[in-house]
Structure 1
Amino acid sequence: MQTRILTFAFTFILSLTLFSQITISGKVLGRNSKPLKDVSVSLKDTYDGATTDEAGNYKFETTEKGNLTLVFSHPKFIEIEKPLNIEDKSIALNVQLKESVNEIDAVVISAGSMEASDKKRASALFTPMDVLTTAGSNAQITSFLETQPGVQKVGESEGLFVRGGTGSETKFFMDGNLVNNYFGNSVPGIKAMDRLNTTLFKGNVFSSGGYSALYGQALSGILALESIDLPERNSADFGISPIFASGTIQQVNKERTHSFGASLGYSNLELMQKILNFNTDFEKAPQSFGGNGNFRIKTKGGGFIKYYGSYDGSSMKLAFPSLEGNSDTDKINQKGKNTFHSLSYREKYGKYTLSLGSSYTFNQNILNFKNEKNGSEVFGYDLDSKGNYFNAKAVIERKLYKISNIKAGVEFNDSQEKTWVSIANENYIFKDKITSLFAETNLGISNNLSVQVGARAEHSDAIKQWNFSPRFALGYRISKDWTSSLAYGIFYQNPESRYFDANYNPNYQRADHYIFQVQRNVDGRSLRLETFYKKYEDLLKTSTNLYRPVAINNNGSGYAKGVELFWRDKKTLKNIDYWISYSYLDSKREYLNYNQALFPNFAAKHTVSVVAKKFITEWKTGFNLSYNYNSGRPYYNFVEENGNTVLKNQGKVKDYNVLNFSVNYVPSIGKKDAKSFSVFVLAINNVLGAKNIFGYNFSSDGMRSSAIKPPVDTFVFVGWFISFGTDKTQEAINNNL
């Protein structure tokens, strides 16, 4: 009897429970009514719920009654809540979720740009250590960039020659501030090196076109460098080799709220000139001496104040056979000095970020030219160029919902130059003030779509006009691993100051950029395909007098178009990191003294770079190789005949080939509690000794010529670098393990 009662009671309670369960079901959709899988659906503050299937359907049962809330959540979508009144009937509820936009998943607009950064390793194609460990780069950012698509390998002149643009069409910035005279002082035909040390920077963004409205006065591209914030610890670094010696100290307080540092360096190629077979006859080998200092302060609000200042002096003398009939030797004596200062401040104030910065540069380069016959001077003159440059910039940024923002600001540039030309017994003075206003917004419409719209307006006192430059870019995720970017913009740049003349006031030069890119970056492999078209208008045209070109009009024009490929792979070959870049360029320009539209003499139709790196931990050694190929560049010789410019000689030099090799030995690897880090470096540029030619110099009548060659065909560098107080072992391995 008791058993029957218990059985009846259990059955009765169970029947009541089953009777009271209510079914809740429905469908969850996303954009374009696409079913969403793995969405969590639950009654708030209960354990009842389910997860959507492949078709977006969900279904569960509950015994809850009354007014409750149904929650729909997924990491990539905005969570929504729906109120429910649960009674005795089943409920069917369909919902549509909106994508949640966040910095991690959002598509990045990358048309025309490549980033090297430690801060954004996930999206960056390179890190700053890549610059230091690439064979042939000589630890210079600009030499490293010559292994990237769109950048020409030009060995006889400084500058970044980008997509059919001259070296002066790319500008350089440090912490947002303009860097004038980024390269050292030199002489015609000898390429100067970067002034700023690569180790100063934690990252850089190189744009070969379509760059942000925050920057201007560059027809082709910009290199924006971001300096490090604070060092990890106190350190002292030393470097020594047959061509240079350097020392650096860096101090940081225990709380890591401020730091300061200084360095000195001296270089001289005299010893290497005696050992190696130089093509250039240096009567006095190139030498330089310089130093720099810095301080960094972290504010209470988490912002930063950064200062960097430097000074360097350089000199060289060289001689070469004269091409003119009345002399047998040409000589150039060069002396120069430069000082550069950069101060920046960045701070967040609520939803706003304020960035302030300024830079100052003084540069002087003195050149003495002589023509000699049998040791006696036939003809000679001096050029003494001095320049003072000041830049100031203010940017305010407001963040809008997660990854969207709006920026606006103002920039001011002041240039004052004076050039003494002894043959004319005259000082040529150039002054200009450029005022710029700019604004830009980045809109993260969804994780798959981003839009950037900006504009810049500039006024130049020298040109006495305003210009207006709209910019537009779009990024769209094609699929999980593939993204695409599109960029368009108008870009203006003043002609170089040496072309301004009392008889003619040049106008702005203009370039319109159109860029399309697709990119895949997944599982240690990166693929980029990019095509571009660049239209030039109002390029400067010149004629030539005895010693310098003179501007005559802005009737020049041109175009550049091409296709670029980049592939980097860290996975396929065990412990080997390699990349391949290829560029095809079709370009014509009628500018300067060109009397017709021609393929520019500084560019090659085809360029190829291959870079490979392997670090063998057991040997504590890294091996690096790089290969560069350029198809033959054209050369032209224009002469003035009866007041007209005539193309006297033209042709094409042989293809450029160079194989570079470097090896780094890191003895501190494997030592516990190492308080110092040292690296021995052996680098050989042009291992195979290829006899490369960049072009030709011609006599004034065009009858005689001489090849423009690198100062030395094969260069060997041996150096020892040691750092006390910091362990950079993992950086040396460069994440290849």
Structure 2
Amino acid sequence: MKTRIFTLLFTFVFTFTLIAQITISGKVLGRNNKPLKGVSVTLKDSYDGATTDETGNYKFETSEKGSQTLIFSNPKFIEIEKSIQIEDKNLILNAELKESVSEIDAVVISAGSIEASDKKRATTLLTPIDVYTTAGANGQISSALETLPGVQKVGESEGLFVRGGTGTETKFFMDGNLVNNYFGNSVPGIKAMDRLNTSLFKGNVFSSGGYSAVYGQALSGVLALESIDLPERNAADFGISPIFASGGIQRINQEKTHSYGISLGYSNLELMQKILKFNTDFEKAPNSFGGNGNFRIKTSRGGFIKYYGSYDTSSMKLSSPNLDDETSSDKINQNGKNTFHSLSYREKFGRYTLNLGSSYTYNQNILHFSNVDQNGRSQFSNDIDSKGNYFNAKALIERKLFKISAIRAGIELNTTKEETWVSIAQKNYEFRDDITSLFAETDLEISNDLSLKIGARAENSSSINRWNFSPRFAMAYRISKEWTSSLAYGTFFQNPESRFFTENYQPHYQRADHYIFQVQRAADGRSLRLETYYKKYQDLIKTTTDFYRPITLNNNGSGYAKGVELFWRDKKSLKNIDYWVSYSYLDSKRDYLNYTESLFPNFAAKHTLSVVAKKFVTNWKTGFNISYNYNSGRPYYNFVTENGNTFLKNQGFVKDYQAVNFSLNYLPNLGKKDARAFTVLVLSINNVLGTKNEFGYNFSSNGLKSRAIVPPTNTFVFIGAFISFGTDRTQEAINNNL
């Protein structure tokens, strides 16, 4: 009897359950009606639910009744809730989910841009450690950038020569502030070094085209440097070598809310001139002395106030045989001084971020040109004393939109005041210009697979007395999990150099239009970038030369640059070896300055190749670094002016440029826990094989004689020791292949 009662009761409950349960099913779609797999579909406050399959379908049973809420969720999509009424019939309910855009997953716009920053998701390239450990870079950011696609290796003149552009077409910024005179004072044919120390910066964005509307007055590209916020701890640094000595301190308070630092340095090539064979006859070896200071304050809101100031002096004297008269010599005596100051303030106010900054530069460069006969008697002399005062101020406000989209706008002011005294003309040339710029830009993260950047910039120059308008557009699209593509377009304006503004002619803006397309793959410690571009020049300056000052003819110059670039970096395939390969092909023509026709620029090369490799051997406490640089032969042109007419007398190509560079860094304190100082011993050899490279030719006034423009020395050797007290960077050095 008990068994029958139990059986009847079980049958009744089971039958009631079957009758009470209903089925809920449906399909979940994403963008473009694409079925979504792995979406969780559940009844709120219950255990009933299911997960979508590969076709986006789900199905589950429930005994719940009445008004309920159905939840569709997945970490990559915006969660949605749907109200339903459960009665006695099965329900079919479809849903469409929108992608949840996150800073981690969103595709990054990278066309024309190579970035090393702790704030972005882009492949990290050329961090400060990368710069210091790139053989041949000599610890300079600009030299390290010459191993990347699109940057030409120009050994006789300072500047970043980008994609067929001159060195003046790239501008430099520190914490958003314009850096005038980024390179040291120099003489014709001798390349100056970077003024700013690489260790000042935690990241950089180098754009070889299509850059943000936040920046202007650059036809080719920009290098935006971001200084460190606060040092990790108190430290004292000292460096010594046959060519320089330096020392400095950094102090930070216990609460890590503010810090300050100072440093001094002196360099002189006289000793190395006696040891190595120099091609340049330095009667007085290049030497410089300088110092800098900084302070950084972290505000109560987490923002930062940063100041950096520097002062330096430089001098050199060199001699070379005169091309028109071999019995006489041309001499150049250079003396210069520079001071630079940068102040920036960054603060967040809810969704808004305020950036304020300003910079000031004073630069003086005095060049004394003379020609002396074989008896040392002066036959000709001319002094050129150039002084410049430059002030930059910028205000930018940014507002976050939704999760990671943003809109920003701002104003920038640039003031230039220059004076140049030319003794032979007994004339003082003055130039004054005030540029007012307005800009706005928005970052639109449409989805994790699609990002847009739309902006515009307008500028007014008092020396030109007109406005320009520059639209900018860029987008990125994720092709697959590992592959992304980027597209960029922009119009860019730049004032001609001040020397082209004369009493009889007032030039207007020079213009370049950029079109860039890129595909990139980043996965498993490897990255590949393929980029193609087209750059169209308009309104370039046409001149003829009359003594010191060029005679400006018009703004009718034009040109183009187009090419293909490849960059491959691999940290995984070869054990403990980090290497990268970059290749650039450039096709360019220019009709500008004194060019009599459209010609391939004499500062550019069609083919450029760089290979950089680094390895740290822990047991030997040593890092080994090697690089190879190749440029196909650059063209040279011999323009001669007779009876007021300029014509091309002859032309040709210099031989291909090649250099193998090597450096090693030895860490003697590695593994010593009680070491009170972190020491690095450095040996660096530029152009190990001693290849005799040429950059071009100088010609006599009649064009009949010539002399090759060569580096000051074919092979340069550097030995130095760097000691840091109060901080141990051993692990950092190992992790970054120092």
> Which 5+ residue runs of structure 1 have no aligned equivalent?
none
Q: Deviations over 1:588-611 (max 9, x none)?
A: 101111111110000000000000
Distance 1:678 1:59 in 2: 66
Q: Which residue number corresponds to residue 351 of structure 1? A: 351
Aligned to 2:525: 524
Residue number in structure 1 paired with 2:109? 109
Cα deviation code 1:161-199 (max 9, x no counterpart): 000000000000000000000000010000000000000
What is the rounded CA distance, in whole Å, between the counterparts of 2:638 and 2:510 in structure 1? Answer: 24
**What value does the CA root-mean-square deviation take over the aligned residues?**
1.3
The structural deviation recorded for 1:24 is 1.5
Question: 2:175 aligned with 1:189, yes or no?
Answer: no
Matched residue, 1:18: 18
Query: For residues 32 and 493 of structure 1, what CA distance do their matches in structure 2 show?
Result: 43
- 1:50-199 map, 5 Å: 50-120=50-120, 123-199=123-199
Structure 1 window deviating more from structure 2 (182-191 vs 567-576): it is 567-576
| Larger mean Cα displacement after TM superposition, 597-606 or 58-67 | 58-67
Which secondary structure does the structure 2 equivalent of 1:106 belong to? coil
Letter of the aligned partner of 2:559 in structure 1? G
* Contact 1:570/1:736 (8 A) holds in 2: no
Q: 1:164·1:600 contact (CA, 8 Å) conserved in 2?
A: yes
**Does the residue aligned with 1:603 lie in a helix, a strand or coil?**
coil
How far apart are 1:27 and its partner, in Å? Answer: 1.0
Cα-to-partner distance string for 1:29-82 (whole Å, 9 max, x where unaligned): 111111111111111121221111111111112222222211111111111011
How far apart are 1:128 and its partner, in Å?
2.5
1:500 Cα offset (Å): 1.1
Instruction: Report the equivalent of 2:720.
Output: 719
Query: Could you tell me whether the CA contact under 8 Å between 2:679 and 2:723 is conserved in 1?
Result: yes
2:512 matched to 1:507? no
CA distance in 2, matches of 1:387, 1:735: 40
Aligned pair 1:434/2:420, yes or no? no
Q: Alpha-carbon deviation of 1:484?
A: 0.8
Aligned residue number for residue 270 of structure 1: 270
Q: Equivalent residue for 1:417?
A: 418
The Cα of 1:616 is off from its aligned counterpart by: 1.2
State the Cα distance separating 1:676 from its structure 2 match. 2.8
SS in 1 for 2:16: helix
1:691 aligns with 2:714: no
Report the CA distance shift for 1:734/1:648 in structure 2 as closer, same or farther (over 3 A): farther
Measured against aligned partners, the alpha-carbon deviations of 1:442-463 in whole angstroms (never above 9, x if no partner) come to 1111111111111111111111
Aligned to 2:285: 285
TM-aligned CA deviation for residue 735 of structure 1: 4.0
What do residues 89-141 of structure 1 show as CA deviations (whole Å, max 9, x unaligned)? 22211111111111111111111110122443664334221111111111100
Partner of 1:156, secondary structure, is: coil
Instruction: Provide the rounded CA distance (Å) in 1 between the counterparts of 2:381 and 2:165.
Output: 33
Say whether 1:542 aligns with 2:543.
yes
Q: What's the secondary structure of 2:152's corresponding residue?
A: coil
Look up the SS of the partner of 1:46 in the other structure.
Answer: coil
Q: Secondary structure at the match of 2:162?
A: coil
Return the letter of the residue paired with 2:296.
R
Deviates more, 1:111-120 or 1:711-720: 111-120
Q: Distance in 2 between matches of 1:600 and 1:112?
A: 21
The answer to whether residue 702 in structure 2 is matched with residue 701 in structure 1 is yes
* Separation in 2, partners of 1:259, 1:315: 33
Instruction: Tell me the amino acid that sits aligned with residue 647 of structure 1.
Output: L
Q: Is the 8 A contact 1:38 1:74 kept in 2?
A: yes
SS in 1 for 2:698: strand
Q: Which residue of 2 aligns with 1:300?
A: 300
SS of equivalent residue, structure 2 residue 714: coil
**How many angstroms does 1:736 deviate by?**
5.5
Question: Aligned-pair distance for 1:617?
Answer: 1.4
- Deviation string 1:444-499 (CA, Å, 9 cap, x unpaired) is 11111111111111111111111111111111111111111111111110111111
Preserved CA contact (<8 Å) 1:129 1:734: no
In 1, Cα distance between the equivalents of 2:86 and 2:671? 66
**Residue type at the aligned position of 2:108:** V
Question: Deviation at 1:703?
Answer: 1.4
Q: Percent identity?
A: 77
Matched residue SS, 2:480: coil
Structure 1 residue 87 displacement after superposition: 2.3
In the superposition, relative to structure 1, how do residues 85 and 237 fare at CA in structure 2: closer, same or farther (>3 Å)? same
- Is the CA contact 2:126–2:144 (under 8 Å) kept in the aligned structure 1? no
Matched, 1:5 2:5: yes
Is 2:465 the counterpart of 1:447? Answer: no
Equivalent residue, structure 2, for 1:555:
556
Tell me which residue corresponds to 1:667: 668
- The CA deviation at 1:8 is 3.2
Structural mapping, 1:560-579, within 5 Å: 560-579=561-580
Contact 2:104 2:121 in 1 (8 A): no
Secondary structure of residue in 2 paired with 1:732: helix
Please say if residues 129 and 736 of structure 2, whose CA atoms lie closer than 8 Å, have aligned partners that are also in contact.
Answer: no
Distance 1:126 1:64 in 2: 60
Following the alignment from structure 1 to structure 2, what is the Cα–Cα distance between the partners of residues 326 and 14? 114
TM-score (norm: length of structure 2): 0.98
How far apart are 1:237 and its partner, in Å? 0.9
| 1:218-238 deviations in Å (ceiling 9; x for gaps) | 010000000011111111111
Matches within 5 A, 1:367-516: 367-374=367-374, 375-516=376-517
- Deviation, 1:527, is 0.7
Secondary structure (helix, strand or coil) at the match of 1:574 reads coil
CA drift at 1:327: 4.9
Matched AA of 2:458:
A
**Which digits, 9 at most, give the CA deviation of each residue in 1:383-441, with x for residues without a partner?**
11000000000001111111211111110000000011100111111110011111111
Aligned pairs for 1:630-669 within 5 A? 630-669=631-670
Which deviates more, 356-365 or 539-548?
539-548
8 Å contact from structure 1 (residues 327, 378) kept in 2: no
For 1:120 and 1:31, how far apart are their aligned partners in 2?
26
SS of the residue aligned with 1:514?
strand
Q: Which amino acid aligns with 1:269?
A: L
In structure 1, distance between residues paired with 2:446 and 2:643: 62
| Structure 1 partner of 2:339 | 339
Alpha-carbon offset, residue 620 of structure 1: 1.5
Could you tell me how far apart the structure 1 residues matched to 2:33 and 2:120 are? Answer: 34
Q: Tell me how far 1:677 sits from its aligned partner.
A: 1.6
Mapped to 2, the partners of 1:531 and 1:736 lie a distance apart of: 31
- Which of 100-109 and 540-549 deviates more? 540-549
Work out whether residues 108 and 121 of structure 2, in 8 Å CA contact, stay in contact via their aligned partners in 1: no
The one-letter code of the counterpart of 1:280 is T
Q: Which residue is equivalent to 1:609?
A: 610
Partner residue in 2 for 1:38: 38
Cα distance in structure 2, aligned partners of 1:24 and 1:700: 92
Cα distance in 2 for residues equivalent to 1:19 and 1:665: 80
* 1:206 lines up with 2:206 in the alignment: yes
In the TM superposition, residue 285 of structure 1 has moved relative to its aligned partner by 0.6
Paired letter, 1:708 = I
Contact in 2 for aligned 1:121/1:127 (Cα 8 Å): no
> Runs of 5+ in structure 2 lacking a partner?
none
Report the number of matched residues.
Answer: 737
Q: Given the two structures, how large is their TM-score scaled by the length of structure 1?
A: 0.98
Question: Does the Cα contact within 8 Å between 1:118 and 1:128 map onto a contact in 2?
Answer: no
- How far the C-alpha of 1:20 sits from its partner, in A, is 2.1
In structure 1, the residue matched to 2:361 is: 361
Q: What secondary structure sits across from 1:102 in the alignment?
A: coil
* Partner Cα separation in structure 2 for residue 442 and residue 172 of structure 1: 23
Shift of 1:700: 1.1
The Cα of 1:663 is off from its aligned counterpart by 0.6
